[in-house]
Amino acid sequence: MGDKTVRVTEAQIQQKLNERLAVPFSLLKIFDVNLSNALVTFDKTTGRMYTTFDTRLSSALLDEAYAGKLGLSGKLRFDAPTQAVVMDETEIDKFELDGMQAKQADMLNALAKKLGSQMLNGLPLYTVKPEDLTIGNRHYQPKEMLVTDKGLQITLSPQP
């Protein structure tokens, strides 16, 4: 038995992100951030994943809650100990909130870029299923991961 391939689609990653980030999180215990409706694209040239979220930000410091868009990207790698695809070199590419004053928006944008990148770095996006790693008595180990324009392609090799 030779290598086998597991394909992970944009839709699968979008679903995992929506599940993982469905719970609002807090920035500095001041701002509550809700992310939803992940839209994922892959760039095979750079090996990066680009994601846009619908975003809602609220805080006791603000008069109202704001809605907008958060765009982030990250380089993908396979983490062998956890059998998961994780995002590294995470960057907040865009953070726009509708109706917010420019001065507040600039401050929040800088905060989001700094803290958001740190919080999302190393985020697990997909874990290889146990049933993909074992067929009969044969155990497979991830060998390589390729980012394509359609998703991820993980090659599994049989262990001796």
Q: Which domains does the chain have, with CATH numbers?
A: 10-127 (3.15.10.40)
For the stretch 101-139, pLDDT in tens is 888 888 888 888 877 778 888 889 998 888 888 888 888
Higher-confidence residue: 20 or 153? 153
Band of pLDDT at residue 78, cut at 50, 70 and 90:
confident
For the stretch 142-157, pLDDT in tens is 888 999 988 999 998 9
- Number of separate helices (H) and strands (E) present in the chain: 4, 10
Q: Quick one: what percent of the chain has pLDDT higher than 70?
A: 98
Q: How far apart are CA 152 and CA 47, in angstroms?
A: 10
The pLDDT of residue 24 is: 73
Report the DSSP beta bridge partners of residue 53.
Answer: 70
Mean predicted lDDT score pLDDT of the chain:
87
The pLDDT of residue 32 is: 85
The pLDDT of residue 28 is: 66
**Residue-level length of the chain:** 160
Residue 23 pLDDT > 90: no
CB 142 within 8 A of CB 78: yes
Mean pLDDT, residues 84-101: 90
Angular region, 10: left φ>0, alpha ψ -120 to 50, beta rest: alpha
Q: How far apart are CA 59 and CA 21, in angstroms?
A: 18
Band of pLDDT at residue 27, cut at 50, 70 and 90:
low
Q: Which residues contact 48 (CB under 8 A, 6 or more apart)?
A: 42, 73, 74, 75, 76, 89, 147
DSSP string, 87-102: EEEEEEEEEEETT--H
For the stretch 43-64, pLDDT in tens is 999 989 999 999 998 887 777 8
3-state secondary structure (DSSP) of residue 112: helix
